[in-house]
Amino acid sequence: MFTIEHDFDATIITLVDEGDEAPLQEDVTILAFEDCVTIEQVDPQSDEVLKITLSNRQVRELAMALDLPEGSYRLSPRKE
């Protein structure tokens, strides 16, 4: 299950781990800003929020990598 919310400066996606598979993981929150994307998840052992920040280029590369075979790749600069 997931939710999508549009806030003033970000789109917020929350991924909820559910089902019969154990152990279930903590919810993951993805905040998409104009210039970056942050991924947050609570560490159940320390109860602290762990945060990873990706540039928009890293997000594009991650999306592409999910559909590519094993190897090393470099994207060409994007012409806009």
CA nearest to 44, candidates 74, 23, 72, 70 = 23
pTM of the model: 0.81
The radius of gyration of the chain from alpha carbons, rounded to an integer in Å, stands at 15
Q: Where are the domains of the chain?
A: 2-65
Amino acid identity, position 33 = F
Digitized pLDDT (tens) for each residue of the chain, 80 residues in all: 889 999 999 999 999 999 888 888 999 999 999 999 999 999 999 999 999 999 999 999 998 888 888 888 887 776 65
